[in-house]
Amino acid sequence: MSSEDAAAAGGSAGQADPDADHENALQDVIAVDPDDVEQGTVNRLDAHTGDGIRHRAFTCLVYDTDDRILLAQRAPNKRLWDAHWDGTVASHPVEGQSQEDATEQRLEEELGITPDQYADLRVTDKFEYKRYYPNEGVEWEVCSVLKVTLDDASLDPDEDEIGGMLWVDYEHLHENPSLYRQLRLCPWFEIAMRRDFS
């Protein structure tokens, strides 16, 4: 998720990995057990290729004061779930970084959202999932869900991360997900939304 997607590429068996020199091959993520207990760090590229390595991640659902959720389309250059719609940002904390701090960082990097625009960033859920993206890679994550409501909905998206944006009535989306199928939602967002009973 987020910029690791470009790293999450894997070549077919017997072929050289074209992404071995990708910037994300030089980064690490936090390996975890099913209870989200840290098991050390692993290479970010290794975590997203082959059968993957379970690691810590987060997704943040961004709302406005009218209870609309901001759907953000992943940039088309993403290797995993390129051009799919997320709600709203997703990535991984680095070693020693809290989920809240990592989310705050990604909100600003991807959407230009700064901490003075909200006051209620919080973790609301956590789940494990594993999904393969055909011929490209895998996500195997213990994913925390964070929510935040923007008092100021000003946005300054990074086009290298965000392909498009769409504000959607959250209750309508939650109750009628099939009506939004043409958007091709990211699997972690679909899981987070399905588990949300608030």
Which positions are catalytic? 141
Question: Helices (H) and strands (E) in the chain — how many of each?
Answer: 4, 9
Q: Does residue 6 contact residue 77 with C-beta atoms inside 8 Å?
A: yes
Go through 178-187 and write b for each residue having 16 or more CB atoms within 10 A of its CB, e for each that does not: eebeebebbb
Report CA-CA distances (Å) from 197 to 47, 66, 164: 31, 18, 27
Cis peptide preceding 88, ω within 30 of 0? yes
Q: Count of residues for the chain?
A: 198
Question: Residues with Cβ < 8 Å from 4, sequence gap 6 or more?
Answer: 24, 27, 29, 44, 47, 48, 91, 92
User: Residue 137's CB: how many other CB atoms inside 10 A?
Assistant: 25
Contact indicator for 45, 53 with CB cutoff of 8 Å: no
